[in-house]
Amino acid sequence: MKKYLSLVKFSHTIFALPFALIGFALAVFYKQDYAFDWKILLLMLVCMVTARNAAMAFNRFLDRKFDAKNPRTASREVPAGLISANNALVFTIVNALLFMTATYFINPLCFYLSPVALFVVLFYSYTKRFTALCHLVLGVGLALAPIGAYLTITGTFDMVPLFFSFIVLTWVSGFDIIYALQDEEFDKDHHLNSIPAALGKKNALMVSNVLHVISASLIIAVGFYAGFHWVYWIGAAIVLSLLVYQHTLVKPHDLSKVNLAFGTTNGIISLVFAVFTITDLLLA
């Protein structure tokens, strides 16, 4: 079990799961047209975990040869021989089936859209082979969390959860570029695509900055659009400060704090934003 949890970097669930909880809370508390349902909440959590497990395991399966050549990733479970490639693929298929099964018990729309969601999160693993925009595809995959969670309750689309999806898209894309700085030379040498490989570290950080400026703008915009109150704005101020902070940690000539910027800071951003946003909805 520890090997498989490590395979899918289960701790990184912290990036998208809090935004799924925001989407769920929006459905129940924002317009107060829908009742809280523990069954739907649990099924939504199953969907989140299994979709992400499938995506990460498939990525490890597909990239196993590149991971084996990269000193930074050679110790991962598949190239290190801790989990076989076939078992990683079986794990992917099992989680994909569990995901679709869970959506079946939520509502018809979620079930019909489940293959689309799976395609997006699995397709990301191919994108470094042909486009430097792979970071945006990853962002789209995680951006399904808030709108997907909203659909589990409502079965309909709405602008407010879409705002949060676009926040996730630009935020994740931006910090994934920071993470990819570590593999700039490896990607070039092995004909893999990324924004750092295409533009260099300095310009890649500029692109990341722009994406996070857009994230910050969307956080402010949805606060006004949805009429959030003071609790939300406190959380928004903390998140915006942390967005700025992570860009002070990483320089083109100094990547020693990439993991602090990528993992720790963004994990805190996700938790803080969810806690303050959901609290604001509860108090409204």
Q: What is the pLDDT of residues 45-77, one digit of tens each?
A: 999 999 999 999 999 999 999 999 999 999 999
Q: Residues for the chain: how many in total?
A: 284
Are the C-beta atoms of residues 99 and 54 closer than 8 Å to each other? yes
Are the C-beta atoms of residues 151 and 113 closer than 8 Å to each other? yes
Percent over 70 (pLDDT), the chain: 99
| Distance of alpha carbon 221 from alpha carbon 226, whole angstroms | 9
Say what the pLDDT of residue 4 is. 75
Q: Is the pLDDT of residue 183 over 80?
A: yes
Which pLDDT band, with edges at 50, 70 and 90, does 193 fall under? very high
Q: Which of 184, 182, 87 is nearest to 132 (CA)?
A: 184
| Distance of alpha carbon 134 from alpha carbon 131, whole angstroms | 6
Taking residues 156-167, report their average pLDDT. 96
Which pLDDT band, with edges at 50, 70 and 90, does 206 fall under? very high
| Tens-place pLDDT, residues 108-137 | 999 999 999 999 999 999 999 999 999 999
Q: Is 89 exposed, middle or buried (0-12, 13-18, 19+ CB in 10 A)?
A: middle
Say what the pLDDT of residue 19 is. 96
CATH number for the domain harbouring residue 128: 1.10.357.140
Say what the pLDDT of residue 10 is. 67
Tell me the CA distances in angstroms from 25 to 21, 37, 121, one per residue in order.
6, 11, 23
| Distance of alpha carbon 172 from alpha carbon 214, whole angstroms | 12
Say what the pLDDT of residue 8 is. 66
Taking residues 85-109, report their average pLDDT. 96
| Distance of alpha carbon 277 from alpha carbon 284, whole angstroms | 11
Q: Across-strand partners of 254?
A: 251
| Distance of alpha carbon 281 from alpha carbon 82, whole angstroms | 45
Cβ atoms within 10 A of the Cβ of 43, count? 20
Q: Quote the domain boundaries for residue 108.
A: 2-283
Does the pTM of the predicted model rise above 0.75?
Answer: yes
Q: Is the pLDDT of residue 1 over 90?
A: no
Are the C-beta atoms of residues 126 and 63 closer than 8 Å to each other? no
| Distance of alpha carbon 207 from alpha carbon 53, whole angstroms | 29
Give the number of domains in the chain: 1
Q: Which of 76, 200, 67 is nearest to 132 (CA)?
A: 200
- From first CA to last CA, the distance across the chain in angstroms is 42
Say what the pLDDT of residue 48 is. 94
Are the C-beta atoms of residues 192 and 184 closer than 8 Å to each other? no
| Distance of alpha carbon 127 from alpha carbon 138, whole angstroms | 9
Which pLDDT band, with edges at 50, 70 and 90, does 3 fall under? confident
pLDDT, the chain, mean: 94
Q: What tokens appear for 198 in the block?
A: 């295409």
Q: Which of 61, 20, 51 is nearest to 121 (CA)?
A: 51
Say what the pLDDT of residue 260 is. 84
Question: Any residues with CB less than 8 A from the CB of 162 and at least 6 apart, and which?
Answer: 147
Q: Which of 107, 95, 115, 116 is nearest to 39 (CA)?
A: 107
